[in-house]
Structure 1
Amino acid sequence: MAVEPDFEYDLLKRLSETCGVPGYEDRVREVVREELTPHVDEIRTDAMGNVISTLEGDSDYSVVVAAHMDEIGFMVTHVDDDGFLAVDPLGGFDPRVLKAQRVTVHTQSGDLSGVIGSPPPHTLDEEERERTPKTEDVRIDLGLDAEDVEERVSPGDLVTMDQGTEIVGEHVTGKAIDNRVSVFTLIEAARRSESPAVTVHFAATVQEEVGLRGAHALGVDLDPDLAIALDTTVANDVPGFEKREYVTELGEGAAIKLKDSSVITSPKVHRRLTEVAEERGISHQFEVLPAGGTDTAGFQTSAGAKPVGAISIPTRYLHTVTESAHVEDIEATIGLLSAFLGSETGEFDYRL
């Protein structure tokens, strides 16, 4: 039987099911603005599409909390003579999981349903069956004749995976848990923040999946004193992996990032995150991610040296349509971020 989360699951579901690939986060941005506006003093969108919502504090010290809005997807590159679509990836798909998936093609005249087909195995020879799939081999079938497809679809149209969000046991699973669960966490923390001692910028960023581009620009524009990024992280606690390969485990709490391939978080920041978690009895674990980067790095390479930290939500099956996060880890992450922001006075010295 599925659990009943202590947070607003309907909003998380709405965020996860809303479509928004890198550079085209419009629909998600609309939801974020709608949800944040009542809880902040100012909200704006920059030239790249980052949403910056500001809660003014009693000091000039400022903290940025960043979570990216974009999800991995595709852009149409060509319509062939038979009406099948060729695409270019926007973000890092594992091509092994793409066959036999439903998709939505977003065109100027509206959304179209489609499928990424897969030939029946008994029609393939041994070489074809053993061939390693490649993303560039993806073709999308809209179930329409070629002339109709030509009229309705153009190069540059966008494609997202078509998958709903569900509670499966104690897990929330869906196609864009990465990183809408962190956007949800950001919104929940903003709702809980009252009269902060420091100014807090809650930033929903763009184009993370194609190179942390929104965060890089935001780091220059805001020039914060401290930056905290939110993202999902690998949980390989499933059959086929040794325990040392897990990175994180579902149900063990919020993951305090120590490093990934793009950043080494500031020791004084992750130590204080740990202190807050221990003082408040918030379940937590540590994340050492051998590959993959997050918005955290965007604030460590822009506008000079900045202390940075990150909180991650352990997630199984990342970059697939069944990404899964534990409800208790989501609750722990919301609690840790809220407690950390509530205790920030601007007087902590994070310099080394």
Structure 2
Amino acid sequence: MDKSAKEFLINILETPSPSGYEVPVQNIVREYVGTFADEVRTDLHGNVIASCNPSAELRVMYAGHADQIGLLVTYIDENGFIYTNTIGGWDPQQLIGQRMTIYTANGPIPAIIARKPIHLLNEEERKQVVKLKELWLDVGAKDQKEAKEIVAIGDPVTLELGYQEMRNNMANSPGMDDKTGLWVCVEAARRAKERGGLNVALHVASTVQEEIGLRGATTSTYGIDPHVGVAVDVTHATDCPTIEKFQEGEVKLGGGPVCYRGANMNPVVVEYMRAAGKTASIPLQWGAQGRGTGTDANAMQLARGGVATGLVSVPNRYMHSAVEMVSLDDLDACADLLAEFALSIPADADFTPR
């Protein structure tokens, strides 16, 4: 991973993008892809689409979603405490005692999210799983009037963002889901463009609103109208305690890209991906899904008259938490795999299952 690519990764991880509020991170994406793409556009939904060799007849689309889970300010009480609803899927247990940031019209406001201390919980309360409505944000305001002067209903909230490197080329940060997948798509296109020899039009979509229903993938796929689509998202690493491999498969951090087979994946795309891994000497991990996946691949496959779809995933420990953890080696391997995949497709390729 070269210096500029790593800076791009850190920048998007440390920039807020709750679903529906992706503009700050999309500005970074737009600037970065502008250094190599032949065309860059932003659609009315907010998807940023970078195209390489756009005049080619066969259209290939890579999709990684720019949005992350977050919260949304819904109420400020008389004492200045702030209540929220969720954006995307949260385990409220992950939120207790976290440092948070509220993004207001006048800039970010630090906050903490809290509940009644354990010393004051009665016996019945201690047995119950906490609900989001029992948590509140505290910005240090002395009353409702002061809080309303700085925070507005509808302001988005994230965990305190921050990138941290660890041993064995691992890293943690909120929002690894799916800014790592977005990074892979962008970096794969950059590497393919630099190598030269693309026979296809390669369109990279930084999609919006995946966490609330694959919405950006639906609109951007319709607009691009690809023949082939590959979504890049994270998947659960199962190399940690309590996760059952016989249910979730065997997926290791540092083990390389996870390629999926199943109903959501076109078998010709799968074989092209397998061949690309062999050509580039990239070890692949394999996953299986017997129905539509909860990723942009599901929306891509069903767009217009149908798209030959694939799914490549980045192994991720502790998904949808403040400490999502990935291997930087896996990110590089995923980008190399998708660059090789795009370059391996001839102009007259046929992805019709036979």
TM class by shorter-chain length?
over 0.9
Question: What corresponds to 1:267 in structure 2?
Answer: 267
What is the 5 A alignment of 1:231-310? 231-247=233-249, 248-259=251-262, 264-288=264-288, 293-310=294-311
Partner of 2:158: helix, strand, or coil? strand
Would the alpha carbon gap of residues 138 and 347 (structure 1) be closer, same or farther in structure 2, given more than 3 Å must change?
farther
User: How far has the Cα of 1:256 moved from its partner?
Assistant: 0.4
Report what 2:42 is aligned to: 45
Determine helix, strand or coil for the equivalent of 2:220.
helix
Match of 1:222 in 2: 224
In structure 2, the CA distance between the partners of 1:245 and 1:10, relative to structure 1 (3 Å rule), is farther
Structure-2 change in CA distance of 1:57 and 1:220 (3 Å): closer
Q: Deviations over 1:125-153 (max 9, x none)?
A: 22111111223333111111122102221
Query: Does the Cα contact within 8 Å between 1:116 and 1:141 map onto a contact in 2?
Result: yes
Match of 1:165? 163
Task: Give the length in aligned residue pairs.
Answer: 345
**Distance of 1:282 and 1:168 partners within structure 2:** 23
- CA offset at residue 241 of structure 1? 2.5
Summarize the alignment of residues 1-352 of structure 1 with structure 2, pairs less than 5 Å apart: 8-56=5-53, 59-146=56-143, 147-170=145-168, 171-194=170-193, 195=196, 196-247=198-249, 248-259=251-262, 264-288=264-288, 293-352=294-353
CA distance in 2, matches of 1:182, 1:73: 18
Matched-pair identity in %:
33
Deviation at 1:6, TM superposition (A): 6.0
Find the aligned partners of 2:117 and 2:220 in 1 and give their Cα distance. Answer: 47
Deviation at residue 99 of structure 1 after TM alignment: 0.2
Separation in structure 2 between the aligned mates of residue 305 and residue 37 of structure 1, nearest angstrom: 29
Provide, for residues 66-125 of structure 1, a one-character-per-residue CA deviation record: whole Å limited to 9, x for no partner.
Answer: 110000001111111111111111100111111000111011122100000133222212
Contact 1:36/1:190 (CA < 8 Å) preserved in 2?
A: no
CA shift at 1:193, angstroms? 2.1
Give the counterpart letter for 2:57 in structure 1.
D
Supply the distance in 2 between the matched residues of 1:256 and 1:347 (Cα, whole angstroms).
24
Alignment check: 8 A CA contact 2:13 2:179 kept: yes
Gaps of 5+ in 1: none
Moved more, 131-140 or 276-285: 131-140
Gaps of 5+ in 2: none
Deviations 1:28-53 (A, max 9, x none): 00100110002011101000000011
Alpha carbons 2:257, 2:315 under 8 Å: kept: yes
1:93–1:135: 8 Å Cα contact kept in structure 2? no
Cα shift readout 1:197-247 (whole Å, capped 9, x = no counterpart) = 111111100000000001111121111111111111111321123332443
Distance in 2, matches of 1:160 and 1:57, equals 36
Q: CA, structure 1 residues 152+109, in 2 after alignment: closer, same or farther (shift >3 Å)?
A: same
Aligned partners of 1:149 and 1:141: how far apart in 2? 9
Q: How far apart in 2 are the matches of 1:165 and 1:326? A: 13
* Counterpart Cα distance in 2 of 1:53 and 1:86: 38
Root-mean-square deviation over aligned CA pairs: 1.7
- TM-score, with normalisation over the residues of structure 1? 0.93
Q: Secondary structure at the match of 1:192?
A: helix
Higher mean alpha-carbon deviation, 335-344 vs 114-123, is at 114-123
Q: SS of the residue aligned with 1:251?
A: coil
- How far residue 58 of structure 1 moved from its aligned partner, in angstroms, is 6.3
**In 2, Cα distance between equivalents of 1:215 and 1:75:** 22
Structure 1 letter corresponding to 2:304: A
**Post-superposition CA distance 1:264-293 (Å, at most 9, x none):** 211111122012112221021012358961
One-letter code aligned to 1:160: T
CA pair 181-265 structure 1, distance change in 2 beyond 3 A: same
Q: 1:9: Cα distance to partner?
A: 2.6
Name the SS for the 1:29 alignment partner.
helix
- Cα contact 1:102–1:163 (8 A) shared by 2: no
Which letter maps to 2:37? V
